[in-house]
Amino acid sequence: MKVNSPLEVYKYLPGDNCGVCGVDTCMAFASKLLDRSGQLNDCTPLLEDENKDKLEKLEHLLAPEIREVEIGIGDKSVVIGGDDVLYRHKLTFFNKTALAYDVWDTLDEDNLVERVKYIEDFKKFYVGEFLSPDMIAIRSSSNDPKKFADTVEKVMENTELPLILCSFDPVVLRAGVEKAHKRNPLLYAATMSNWQEVADIALEYDLAVTLFSPNDLDNLKSLATSFNKMGGEKLVLDPGTYPTGKELNTTFNNILKIRRAGIGGDKDIAYPIMAVPLTSWLVHKDTVTASYWETVLASVFTIKYGDVMILHSTEPYAMMAELHLGDTIYTDPRKPVTVDPGVYEVGSPTPESPLIITTNFALTYYTVESDLSSNSINSYLAAVDTDGIGVEAAVAGGQLTASKIKEVLELADFSLNEKTSHNTIILPGLAARLQGDVEDMLDANVLIGSADSGRLPGWMDKNWPPEKE
Task: Taking residues 179-201, report their average pLDDT.
Answer: 98
335 in a structural domain: no
- Asked if residues 448 and 432 have their Cβ atoms less than 8 Å apart, the reply is yes
Q: Are residues 454 and 356 in the same domain?
A: yes
Q: Are residues 448 and 314 in the same domain?
A: no
**Which residue range(s) make up the domain with 58?**
6-62
Return the pLDDT at 334: 80
301 in a structural domain: yes
Q: Are residues 84 and 40 in the same domain?
A: no
Return the pLDDT at 159: 98
Q: Are residues 177 and 38 in the same domain?
A: no
Return the pLDDT at 409: 97
Return the pLDDT at 316: 96
Whether residue 221 has pLDDT greater than 90: yes
Non-local (6+) Cβ contacts of 149 within 8 A are 175, 176, 178, 179
Cα(68)–Cα(62) distance, rounded to whole angstroms?
A: 13
* Strand duo 342-346 + 379-384: pairing: antiparallel
**What sign does the dihedral 415-420-425-426 (CA atoms) show?**
negative
For the stretch 430-439, pLDDT in tens is 999 999 999 9
Q: Are residues 13 and 141 in the same domain?
A: no
Higher pLDDT, 331 or 118: 118
Give the residue from 468, 421, 420, 429 showing the smallest Cα distance to 447. 429
For the stretch 90-115, pLDDT in tens is 888 999 999 999 999 999 999 999 99
469 in a structural domain: no
DSSP assignment of 405-448: HHHHHHHTT--HHHH-SS-EEEE-GGGGGGHHHHHHHHT-EEEE
Q: Are residues 54 and 87 in the same domain?
A: no
For the stretch 284-305, pLDDT in tens is 989 999 999 999 999 999 999 9
Return the pLDDT at 6: 87
Cis before 185 (ω within 30): no
Query: What b/e sequence results for 82-120 when a residue is b if at least 16 CB atoms lie within 10 Å of its CB, and e otherwise?
Result: bbbebebeebbbbbbbbbbbbbbbebeeeebbebbeebb
Return the pLDDT at 469: 57
For residue 157, the tally of other CB atoms under 10 A from its CB is 9
Cα(208)–Cα(269) distance, rounded to whole angstroms?
A: 15
Q: Are residues 85 and 232 in the same domain?
A: yes
Domain termination site, one of 329, 354, 388: 329
Q: Are residues 57 and 112 in the same domain?
A: no
For the stretch 374-422, pLDDT in tens is 999 999 999 999 999 999 999 999 999 999 999 999 999 999 999 999 9
396 in a structural domain: yes
**Domain count across the chain:** 3
Cα(59)–Cα(357) distance, rounded to whole angstroms?
A: 44
337 in a structural domain: no
Domain containing residue 348: CATH number: 3.40.50.11600
What is the overall mean pLDDT for the chain?
A: 95
Whether residue 195 has pLDDT greater than 60: yes
Percent of the chain with pLDDT over 70: 99
Q: Are residues 159 and 180 in the same domain?
A: yes
The H helix count followed by the E strand count for the chain is 18, 17
Return the pLDDT at 128: 80
Whether residue 216 has pLDDT greater than 60: yes
Q: Are residues 10 and 148 in the same domain?
A: no
Q: Are residues 324 and 440 in the same domain?
A: no
Task: Taking residues 235-252, report their average pLDDT.
Answer: 97
Q: Are residues 15 and 141 in the same domain?
A: no
Give the three-state DSSP class for 362. Answer: helix
Whether residue 309 has pLDDT greater than 80: yes
334 in a structural domain: no
468 in a structural domain: no
Whether residue 320 has pLDDT greater than 80: yes
Return the pLDDT at 2: 73
Domain containing residue 47: CATH number: 1.10.15.40
Task: Identify any residues that bridge with 210 across adjacent strands, giving them in sequence order.
Answer: 188, 236
Return the pLDDT at 245: 93
